[in-house]
Amino acid sequence: MPTAGFFNHLLHNAGYRAEDISIVAISHCHPDHIGNLMTSGAATFPNAEVLLGKHEYECWDRGENISDMRKPTKALFDKVVVPLHDRLRLLQPGDNLVPELTAVEAFGHSAGHFCFHLESEGQRLMLLNDTVPHYVTSFAHPQWHFSMDDNPDAAAVTRQRILDLVVAEDIPVTGFHIPFPSLGFVEKKENGFEFRAATYQFNI
Ligand SMILES: [Zn+2]
């Protein structure tokens, strides 16, 4: 992807070194979420603990019922996640990654996919991660299947549940595939939802 792969460079520009990173939180093991864990056979973040769902780790590790489309993902998992096993912390839904950040069960997009709920100084944010792949159609039609969901039926049920939750509790959201600045609120519509971008209200 021409717009991907700049994380390490941008981290440096932000004034951090890879050695400064103490925690890497992985929502799930698809390639665009694990690809930067190792560089040239060594951990990209040499001092970091890697946090990952236990169910997610075990499913990819067992490698049962992997679709043909996901076989390269399994190969990448074996190459960049398994070698880090001594620095993995495997989480259950409801576990805290750090005191402010909680793993939320959002299974379906991958077997053990997590959202992350952030709460700090009275403010909350739901990191949807890949629960809602498209910022228009997936909000408007949460029941629609998405070809990159490993279990499309379960993913659709999860999408509805998480979106119902953030609407009910008025929690702002962000997600990996929502366009910049990727922050906003969710509104309930007759048969689905709508994403309301918050643009610069957060002073980012
Ligand atoms: Zn994914």
195: left (phi over 0), alpha (psi -120 to 50) or beta: beta
Region 4-23: what's the mean pLDDT? 92
- Kindly give the distance from the C-alpha atom of residue 17 to the centroid of ligand 1, in angstroms, as a whole number: 26
Measure the CA–CA gap between 37 and 84, rounded to whole angstroms: 9
pLDDT of residue 181: 82
- Kindly give the distance from the C-alpha atom of residue 91 to the centroid of ligand 1, in angstroms, as a whole number: 18
Measure the CA–CA gap between 197 and 190, rounded to whole angstroms: 19
- Kindly give the distance from the C-alpha atom of residue 130 to the centroid of ligand 1, in angstroms, as a whole number: 5
**Confidence tier at 184 by pLDDT (50, 70, 90):** very high
Contact 99, 120 (CB under 8 A): no
Contact 44, 38 (CB under 8 A): yes
Helix, strand, coil percent content, the chain, rounded in steps of 5: 30, 25, 45
Q: What is the three-class DSSP state of 122?
A: coil
- Kindly give the distance from the C-alpha atom of residue 29 to the centroid of ligand 1, in angstroms, as a whole number: 7
Instruction: Kindly tell me if the per-residue pLDDT of 2 is higher than 90.
Output: no
Question: Picking from 87-96, 134-143, 175-184, which range would have the lowest pLDDT averaged per residue?
Answer: 175-184
Region 1-29: what's the mean pLDDT? 91
43: left (phi over 0), alpha (psi -120 to 50) or beta: beta
Ordered structural domains, the chain, with CATH: 1-91 (3.60.15.10), 93-204 (3.60.15.10)
Please name which of 11, 57, 8, 13 lies closest in space to residue 36, comparing C-alpha atoms: 8
Label residues 102-126 b or e (16+ Cβ within 10 Å = b).
bbbbbbbbbbbbbbbbbeeeeeebb
Chain mean pLDDT for the chain: 94
Instruction: Kindly tell me if the per-residue pLDDT of 75 is higher than 90.
Output: yes
Measure the CA–CA gap between 94 and 161, rounded to whole angstroms: 16
**Confidence tier at 1 by pLDDT (50, 70, 90):** low
- Kindly give the distance from the C-alpha atom of residue 103 to the centroid of ligand 1, in angstroms, as a whole number: 16
% of the chain with per-residue pLDDT over 90: 88
Cβ within 8 Å of residue 159, ≥6 positions away: 108, 131, 132, 138, 142, 143
- Kindly give the distance from the C-alpha atom of residue 109 to the centroid of ligand 1, in angstroms, as a whole number: 6
pLDDT of residue 190: 85
Listed residues: CB within 5 A of ion ligand 1: 30, 130
Measure the CA–CA gap between 64 and 195, rounded to whole angstroms: 36
**Confidence tier at 201 by pLDDT (50, 70, 90):** low
- Kindly give the distance from the C-alpha atom of residue 40 to the centroid of ligand 1, in angstroms, as a whole number: 23
> For residue range 118-173, what is the model confidence (pLDDT) as tens digits?
999 999 999 999 999 999 999 999 999 999 999 999 999 999 999 999 999 999 99
- Kindly give the distance from the C-alpha atom of residue 133 to the centroid of ligand 1, in angstroms, as a whole number: 8
Instruction: Kindly tell me if the per-residue pLDDT of 199 is higher than 80.
Output: no
